[in-house]
């Protein structure tokens, strides 16, 4: 079962993730801040991380930088889902190491397809 960590401070969106993860047999751990994602990753490497851009405390990009500094997680797939998905933000996140950026609102099925692709490539 794929282990996915999510940092999202909007409870409605977190519930949406949970619903789709259950349907597709992904194990999701949900946090309202990036600190929880970082601490969890230090204990057990996830298959993928989904981050909101704006989080309480550390921002999504700051969390991604911290994650990629953890030994063994340098290439950990990170997907951003954000209401700030302007072309400039998308380009900056990609350059910083994000695998994908989805704007809000987003298609849950497209997200699930991308998660499946990214986690399948890791297993190879």
Note if the pTM is more than 0.75: yes
Instruction: Tell me how far apart the alpha carbons of residues 15 and 39 are, in angstroms, rounded to a whole number.
Output: 22
Number of independent structural domains in the chain = 1
Instruction: Tell me how far apart the alpha carbons of residues 94 and 101 are, in angstroms, rounded to a whole number.
Output: 8
Q: Which domain holds residue 105?
A: 2-123
Contact between 24 and 68 under an 8 Å Cβ cutoff? The reply is no
Sequential pLDDT tens for the chain (124 residues): 889 999 999 999 999 999 999 999 999 999 999 999 999 999 999 999 999 999 999 999 999 999 999 999 999 999 999 888 889 999 999 999 999 999 988 889 999 999 999 998 655 4
CATH number at residue 30: 3.40.50.2300
Q: What is the pLDDT of residue 121?
A: 63
């Amino acid at each position: 079962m794929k282990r996915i960590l999510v940092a999202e401070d909007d409870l409605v969106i977190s519930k949406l993730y949970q619903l789709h993860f259950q349907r597709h047999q992904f194990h999701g751990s949900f946090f309202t801040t990036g600190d929880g994602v970082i601490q969890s990753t230090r204990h057990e490497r996830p298959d993928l991380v989904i981050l909101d851009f704006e989080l309480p405390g550390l921002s999504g990009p700051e969390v991604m930088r911290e994650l990629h500094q953890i030994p063994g997680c340098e290439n950990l797939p990170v997907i951003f889902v954000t209401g700030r998905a302007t072309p400039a933000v998308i380009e900056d996140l990609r350059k910083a190491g994000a695998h994908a950026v989805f704007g809000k609102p987003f298609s849950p099925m497209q997200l699930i397809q991308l998660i499946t692709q990214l986690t399948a490539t890791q297993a190879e």
